[in-house]
Amino acid sequence: MIIVTGGAGFIGSAAIWMLNQRGIDDILVVDHLGNTSKWKNLVNRNYRDYIHKSVFLEAIEKHRFDRSDTIVHLGACSSTTEADADYLMENNYHYSVTLATHAVANGIRFVNASSAATYGNGSQGFRDDLATLDRLKPLNMYGYTKHLFDLWAVRTGAINNMASLKFFNVFGPNEYHKQDMRSMVNKGFHQIVENESLALFKSTHPDYKDGDQRRDFVYIKDCVDIIGWLIENPSVSGLYNLGTGKARSWNNLAGALFDAMRRPENIAYIDMPKPLRNAYQNYTCADMKKLKEAGCPIEFTELEDAVSDYVTNYLQHEDPYL
């Protein structure tokens, strides 16, 4: 059995889609649905059962899942603006440590979600090098909790018995419930439909023109293909970046979106909110050498093709879910 925590979330439900595509449905979904619309991500999916994340943690501590084949741990609060630090410590850090400890102790394959938010302002670069891990200074509490887990995994040696992925700017179907944390492709699509224009933040850094701030945008389908490869290759362990290795500008992203929607380009540059200015990443780009050297064969979808697939096959459809 494969356990997917955060299984109703964006990456989690896409991972279940990937497993279903491979004929796998012996899956336990772990999540906290609450009053969100995340449940819609599961409607098209096949899985054995669902369990609440707190009940699952109690079951883990009672050794009820000691014989599971794989735990894909994608459950976390991913809001970069979440202010409750104690909640993030418990939900993102301590919960992850408990699951990883259980998996390592029982020989269970453990695939974990870290984040590019751990790199902070990028002054230390974007290499997934364990030797420089302790130099990183995340800019928000979400990134800090992910960084703490990475440090714990290295310090205890658990990293040698798991695969942990530093996701960069992931976008694609099934992110609809994420509200303010949705990708700009998703937000921009609706802005263009409603206003015929797309708003981007003005630059607050002299090295970047408005809209020229750059990110490593990676399509959800590529991400879950890599998760599938890691499940099939349990001997691959370590901390790895998961981006395309290419930095593209917000203007590039906007252009791809207007093209996919067959609308004339119309970008409005707006002031960046003050609370974001000191915690804003003007540039991210994954160094993908390490994952490639591990033998990962995945070829990444070009930004324009990925945006086109998302718009044409999902956002413009009545049923936009994977």
Q: φ and ψ at 155, to 5 degrees?
A: -60, -40
Sorted by sequence, the CB contacts under 8 Å of residue 218 that are 6+ apart come out as: 167, 168, 169, 170, 171, 242, 243, 244, 286, 300
Active site residue 53: no
- The C-alpha atoms of residue 59 and residue 151 are separated, in whole angstroms, by 26
In angstroms, the CA 219 to CA 67 distance is 32
Which one is catalytic: 47, 93, 119, 142? 142
| H, E, C per residue of 50-115 | EEEHHHHHHHHHCCCCCCCCEEEECCCCCCCCCCCHHHHHHHHHHHHHHHHHHHHHCCCEEEEEEE
Q: How far apart are the first and last CA of the chain?
A: 22
Spatial separation of the C-alpha atoms in residues 139 and 119, rounded to whole Å: 8
Given the residues 40, 137, 178, 246, the one annotated as active site: 178
Is there a catalytic annotation at residue 178?
yes
Distance CA 151, CA 164 (A): 12
Q: Report the catalytic residues.
A: 142, 178
